[in-house]
Structure 1
Amino acid sequence: MLDHDDQADDAAPIDMLEAYYAAHGWEHERHDDEIIATVKGSWASYELRALWREEDSVLQFLCFPDIKVTDDRRATIYEAIGLVNEQLWIGHFELWSSSGILLFRHAAMIDGGDDSVLSLSAAELLVESAIEECERFYPVFQFVLWGGKSPREALAAALVETQGEA
C-alpha cells in the first residue's frame, strides 16, 4: 500500500499510477506508456486511462463516464459541456466527434527530462479530481440525455446542494 510518509514518494508517471491503482485494489492493465483502470463510482463505473508522452513530458489523463451521445442529441450535449466546463478549474469535458463518447480530460506537464517523476500527491490529485468531476456532473448529462431537461435546467438541478438530513 502506498504510504504518504514513504521517502520514495515519487516514481515514473505510469509506475506511480500503477502502484496507486494496485493500492486501491482497482482492476488495471498496463501497456508500455499507457495504463487503464476501472473504478466504480456512485453513478457509473469509470474507465481511467493515462498516457505518458515522454518526448513532451506530458501525462494525459482521461476518465470515461460510460456516456455515449447519439447524433440527434449532440448539439444539446455540446451546450451542456460548455456550461459544465465553466465550472471547472482543472480539466474539461469533451465529446469525441467520431464515436459520440463523452469524457473528462486533463493533462499534466511533468518536467524532469529523462527522470520525470510523478509524486503520490500529484497522482492522487489527478485521479481523484477526474473521478470527482465525473461524479459531480454525471447527473447533468443524464438529465439532458434522458430527463428531457435543457442544459441550464440540468446544471441547476444537478448542482443543488441539499441541506440538513433526510
Structure 2
Amino acid sequence: MTDRQDEPGREEDAPIEIFENYFEARGWVAERVAEGEVLASATGSWSQYELRAVWRPDDRVLQFLAFPDIKVPPEKRASVYEAIGLINEQLWLGHFELWSGAGIIAFRHAALIDLSGQMTLDEAETISEAALEECERFYPVFQFVLWGGKSPSEAIAAALIDTHGEA
C-alpha cells in the first residue's frame, strides 16, 4: 500500500487515500485518474465492476460509484427506468441510475464527511461492500429485463427468490 499521508497538500485527498488503500488491500488495482479521484476494478459473480471514489473537499462530499458492465439500448430504457425505480425502493444505502447519454447503469452513494475531511477504513469498506453487494444482488434483474423478456416486476420477483436448504 502507498502511504502518502505525510505529503504536503494531501489533506484535501484524505478520503481518496483511504479508498486507494482499501482497494489495494483487496488486491484491486487502484489508479488516481484525477485530483481527488481514484478508480479500481473488481470482479464479482456476475460482472466486472468499475469502482470510482470522488472527493469534493469544498462540499465535504465523497461520492462512490460502481458501474456494472451493463449497456442499455435505447429501446429498453423505459423498462430499465421502471426496474430502477422498483429496485431503489429496496435500498438502504445509495441508488441505481441510468446514465442516458452513455446508456450505462451506475450505482451511486454520496457521503458527507465531517470538517476534518477524514474517514476510516471501516467506513470505506462499508461503502464499497454495500455498493458491490447491491450490484451483485440486482444484476440479474437488469439482465432479465434486457435479455430475458421479463417485465421489471417479473424480473425482480425472479431474481430475488430466497432459496432455503441445499440442493
Q: What TM-score results when the alignment is normalised by the length of structure 2?
A: 0.90
Using the alignment, how far apart are the partners of 1:44 and 1:36 within structure 2? 16
Using the alignment, how far apart are the partners of 1:121 and 1:80 within structure 2? 31
Matching residue of 1:91: 94
Matching residue of 2:121: 120
Using the alignment, how far apart are the partners of 1:96 and 1:20 within structure 2? 27
Amino acid at match of 2:63: Q
Amino acid at match of 2:133: E
Using the alignment, how far apart are the partners of 1:110 and 1:44 within structure 2? 30
Matching residue of 1:79: 82
Quote the RMSD (CA, aligned, Å): 1.1
Unaligned runs of 5+ residues in structure 2 are: 2-12
Partner of 2:153, secondary structure, is helix
For residue 103 of structure 2, the aligned residue among 100, 104, 109 is 100
Deviating beyond 2 angstroms after TM superposition, the runs of 4 or more aligned structure 1 residues are none
Sequence identity percentage? 64
Matching residue of 2:10: none
Matching residue of 1:40: 43
Amino acid at match of 2:30: H
For residue 55 of structure 1, the aligned residue among 52, 55, 58 is 58
Per-residue CA deviation, residues 72-93 of structure 1 (Å, 9 max, x unaligned), is 0000000000000011011000
Matching residue of 1:19: 21
Partner of 2:150, secondary structure, is coil
Unaligned runs of 5+ residues in structure 1 are: 2-10
Q: Any residues of structure 2 matched to 1:142-161 within 5 Å, and which?
A: 142-161=143-162
Amino acid at match of 1:18: E
* TM superposition shift of 1:131: 0.2
Q: What TM-score results when the alignment is normalised by the length of structure 1?
A: 0.91
Partner of 1:118, secondary structure, is coil
Q: How many residues align?
A: 155
